[in-house]
Amino acid sequence: MALDANGHPVSRISQRKLDHLRLSLEASVQSTRSAGFDRVAFPHVALPELDLDQVDTRTEFLGHPLRLPFLISSMTGGAGPAGDINRRLALVAQVMGIAFGVGSQRAGLSFKDLRHTYQVRSVAPDVLLFANLGAVQLNYGLRTEHCVEAIDMIGADALVLHVNPLQEALQAEGDHNFRGLLGKIEKLCKELACPVIVKEVGSGISGDVARRLVEAGVKAIDVAGMGGTSFARVEAFRRERPEDVEMALAFSEWGLPTVDALRQVRQVAPQVPLIASGGLRHGLDAAKALALGANLTGFAHAVLAAASEGEEPVRRLLEGFAWQLRVAMFCAGAANLTALQSIELAELR
């Protein structure tokens, strides 16, 4: 059987991708704790002195213009059905003028016949596109040339390094050595020509970790907090023995809620572009995240569910989120995103 660079059978990698897709769509893998957006609210402006039709949601991220501050977050790739999903999502991103990220490209680096499952430039030539690799792989043979290969594989504008210690710890086949990664991330940031973004996968990035990442040269951070898909629950459902399921489920509420992660990171890194993902349910949550300091807002689970039905459901879903964002801006008296980001949210008790 063919093996990847770490000695894992390729069938295991592809099967894990399929497991994650299936469980995300079929199982109860959403966090049982809130991302925190229900704890904050906009002050209502009864006389906004605005025309709703002229509310401006345009922005830019890492120098790339966007019509909406939305990102279809990194989710999938590396298995046959994932290619169709990625192309549907990327096509919608192209039409709507938003950003898009593919899932981990580790399988594509090891097996060329899987690369097509990540390649979306043919349908999304102008989209802000993020490549994706696991940071822990820097301790398992991943080098700068491999990162360049992943970027070139899809014609990406930036590289996302995902950090996922909890997920790796709970995977039977996980990679557990996270020692010395910060120095390797710093070296990679110096050697790559494109920006490096670091993201969690649902447990959040704290202010202290963000500060160290920025000092290492990371150009943007996706806080990816708790409140959305729980990979503790995903990995629990992949287990067979009941005792293993219970051990993994004990961590289903582990992490920093997205609102708290966003506040911490913005405080220590006031100038760094931030992405808020993890438990955003709709455009109002996106508006709150932007007011709390995010520059982009990421959606994953709801978009993935829509993509399983086709391209049109994805477009309708995101157009609904865009409408909700504009209504929130209108009723908060914010004509544009700069004005939105100057609004102080009220704390709900």
Q: For residue 2, what pLDDT band results from cuts at 50, 70 and 90? A: very low
Q: Which residues constitute the domain of residue 241?
A: 12-37+66-280+296-315
Question: pTM of the predicted model, to two decimals?
Answer: 0.91
pLDDT of residue 232: 86
With a cut of 60, say whether residue 192 has pLDDT above it.
yes
pLDDT in tens, 41-54: 999 999 999 999 99
CATH classification of the domain holding 148 = 3.20.20.70
With a cut of 80, say whether residue 162 has pLDDT above it.
yes
pLDDT of residue 11: 44
Q: For residue 238, what pLDDT band results from cuts at 50, 70 and 90? A: confident
- Please list the helix, strand and coil fractions of the chain in percent, rounded to the nearest 5, in that order: 45, 15, 40
Residue 348 lies in a domain: no
pLDDT of residue 245: 87
Q: Cα(63)–Cα(128) distance, rounded to whole angstroms?
A: 10
Residue 186 lies in a domain: yes
Residue 288 lies in a domain: no
pLDDT of residue 16: 54
Q: Cα(111)–Cα(98) distance, rounded to whole angstroms?
A: 29
pLDDT of residue 236: 85
pLDDT in tens, 84-141: 999 999 999 999 999 999 999 999 999 999 999 999 999 999 999 999 999 999 999 9
Residue 162 lies in a domain: yes
Which amino acid is residue 326, in one-letter code?
R
> Which residue, among 153, 60, 67, 51, has the nearest Cα to 108 in the 3D structure?
153
The count of domains in the chain is 1
Q: What is the DSSP string of 236-266?
A: HHH--SHHHHHHHHTTTT-S-BHHHHHHHHH
Residue 141 lies in a domain: yes
Residue 251 lies in a domain: yes
Residue 247 lies in a domain: yes
pLDDT of residue 88: 95
Q: For helices 10-26 and 80-96, give the axis angle rounded to 10 degrees.
A: 60
Query: Quick one: how many helices (H) and strands (E) in the chain?
Result: 14, 12
pLDDT of residue 230: 86
In the chain, the percentage of residues whose pLDDT exceeds 70 is 92
Q: Cα(41)–Cα(38) distance, rounded to whole angstroms?
A: 8
Q: Three-state SS for 175?
A: coil
Q: For residue 12, what pLDDT band results from cuts at 50, 70 and 90? A: low
Task: Give Cβ neighbours of residue 67 (< 8 Å, ≥ 6 apart).
Answer: 57, 58, 96, 97, 98
Residue 142 lies in a domain: yes
Q: Span 185-211, mean pLDDT?
A: 98
